[in-house]
């Protein structure tokens, strides 16, 4: 019997606080670009009776379950099966040009982690799938069984920040020549053998970085995010807000850079006044990345690695 996924939304009170000025007291539209099981969406809809929510997710199973959870909010909810860089098309199809808020809760969802058949967790033996949309694209097994040693090294190094990327890639290629990879237990066993014992003692589980890298490659997560953040900022009205929860440094770096670029003035240095049309487009609402407090981490371990950033749109594009 399939285990029912649990869902504890991370930093939900802080997210409600950040969106309050943009959503309170008037009809508003918010895009939850990574709907998952709908925990953040439910809280936002409950807090703002005039809010319309557009929920995006690439996982049809997550959309079905969140649809059940959010059904009590009636026609204030619009669910769209799409990857989050499809945000502009999703809004266009609904006749929307500007929104009051956009939320991203990045990374793997509770449903994907907690259902063994999805293959995201290295703690139990399961098929090497890792697709966030299980109906499309390459699986993690396809990557392991078809990529060259050089390509695997790139994936593990760039997306997993794995020190032993080349060593692991060579071991994978040698092992698949005897038998293709199909399940996670065999890969985990290989990683225990390939990662030196000294690193295993100090660097956490030896499969963590490889599984992250495979998941990012299978779902093109960083490429999608590089497109999605600018698209979301473009969709915000003046006064609208964007909040992003990232769970690993590669994602957080992309978000940080995108926000910082739009928070800068482009007036040449040394001029005494801001040139018209050269001021910042956004105001940063967080000082660096905010972390979860120890109390929340104790209650919800998935909050351990969250990095939250937020910004408010203060000027239209010229």
* pLDDT reading at 19 higher than 90: yes
Average of per-residue pLDDT across 132-147: 93
Establish if 52 belongs to a structural domain: yes
73 is in an annotated binding site: no
Are 128 and 47 in the same domain? Answer: no
Establish if 146 belongs to a structural domain: yes
Are 289 and 171 in the same domain? Answer: no
* pLDDT reading at 268 higher than 50: yes
Are 94 and 161 in the same domain? Answer: no
For the CA atoms of 116, 118, 121, 127, the dihedral, rounded to the nearest 10 degrees, stands at: 80
Number of domains into which the chain is organized = 2
Establish if 7 belongs to a structural domain: no
203 is in an annotated binding site: no
39 is in an annotated binding site: yes
Q: Report which DSSP code applies to 38.
A: S
212 is in an annotated binding site: no
* pLDDT reading at 111 higher than 90: no
Q: How do strand 28-32 and strand 51-57 relate by DSSP bridges?
A: parallel
* Predicted local confidence at residue 1, as pLDDT: 36
CATH number at residue 196: 1.10.150.170
Q: Report which DSSP code applies to 274.
A: P
List, for residues 188-245, the tens digit of each pLDDT value.
Answer: 999 999 988 766 655 568 888 999 999 999 999 999 999 999 999 999 999 999 999 9
* pLDDT reading at 114 higher than 60: no
Average of per-residue pLDDT across 104-133: 72
Residue 219 near residue 130 (C-beta atoms within 8 A): yes
**Enclosing domain of residue 126:** 121-219
Are 131 and 252 in the same domain? Answer: no
* Predicted local confidence at residue 2, as pLDDT: 42
* Predicted local confidence at residue 30, as pLDDT: 98
> Where would I find the beta strands (DSSP E) of the chain?
28-32, 51-57, 77-81, 99-105, 236-246, 282-284, 307-313
Establish if 164 belongs to a structural domain: yes
Q: Domain ends where: 188, 219, 250?
A: 219
Average of per-residue pLDDT across 153-179: 96
Residue with tokens 């910082």: 260
Establish if 1 belongs to a structural domain: no
* Predicted local confidence at residue 318, as pLDDT: 60
Retrieve residue 199's tokens. 């690193």
59 is in an annotated binding site: no
Are 179 and 264 in the same domain? Answer: no
pTM of the full structure:
0.89
Q: Domain ends where: 200, 219, 238?
A: 219
Establish if 290 belongs to a structural domain: yes
**Best CA proximity match to 22, nearest among 103, 100, 102, 104:** 100
* Predicted local confidence at residue 157, as pLDDT: 97
304 is in an annotated binding site: no
CATH number at residue 27: 3.40.50.150
List, for residues 50-74, the tens digit of each pLDDT value.
Answer: 999 999 999 999 999 999 999 999 9
Helices and strands (H, E) in the chain, number of each type? 14, 7
* Predicted local confidence at residue 274, as pLDDT: 75
Q: Domain ends where: 181, 197, 219?
A: 219
142 is in an annotated binding site: no
């Amino acid at each position: 019997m399939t285990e029912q996924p649990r869902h504890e939304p991370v930093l939900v009170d802080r997210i409600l606080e950040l969106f309050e000025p943009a959503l309170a007291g008037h009809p508003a539209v918010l895009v939850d670009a990574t709907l998952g099981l709908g925990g953040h969406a439910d809280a936002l809809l409950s807090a703002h009776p005039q809010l319309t929510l557009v929920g995006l997710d690439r996982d049809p199973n997550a959309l079905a379950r969140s649809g059940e959870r959010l059904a009590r909010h009636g026609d204030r909810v619009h669910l769209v099966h799409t990857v989050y860089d499809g945000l502009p098309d999703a809004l266009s199809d609904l006749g929307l040009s500007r929104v009051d808020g956009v939320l991203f809760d990045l990374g793997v969802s509770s449903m994907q982690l907690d259902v063994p058949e999805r293959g995201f967790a290295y703690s139990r033996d399961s098929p090497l799938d890792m697709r966030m949309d299980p109906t499309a694209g390459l699986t993690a097994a396809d990557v392991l069984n078809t990529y060259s040693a050089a390509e695997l090294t790139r994936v593990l190094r760039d997306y997993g920040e794995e020190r032993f990327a080349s060593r692991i890639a060579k071991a994978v290629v040698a092992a698949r020549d005897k038998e293709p990879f199909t399940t996670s237990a065999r890969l985990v066993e290989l990683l225990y053998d390939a990662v030196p014992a000294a690193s295993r003692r100090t660097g956490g589980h030896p499969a963590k970085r490889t599984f992250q890298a495979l998941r990012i490659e299978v779902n093109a997560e960083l490429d999608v995010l590089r497109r999605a953040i600018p698209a979301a900022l473009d969709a915000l009205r003046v006064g609208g807000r964007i909040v992003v929860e990232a769970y690993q440094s590669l994602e957080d770096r992309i978000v940080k850079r995108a926000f910082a670029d739009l928070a800068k003035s482009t007036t040449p240095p040394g001029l005494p006044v801001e040139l018209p049309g050269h001021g910042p487009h956004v105001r940063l609402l967080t000082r660096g990345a905010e972390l979860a407090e120890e109390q929340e981490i104790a209650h919800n371990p998935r909050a351990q690695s969250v990095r939250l950033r937020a910004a408010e749109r203060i000027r239209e594009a010229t």
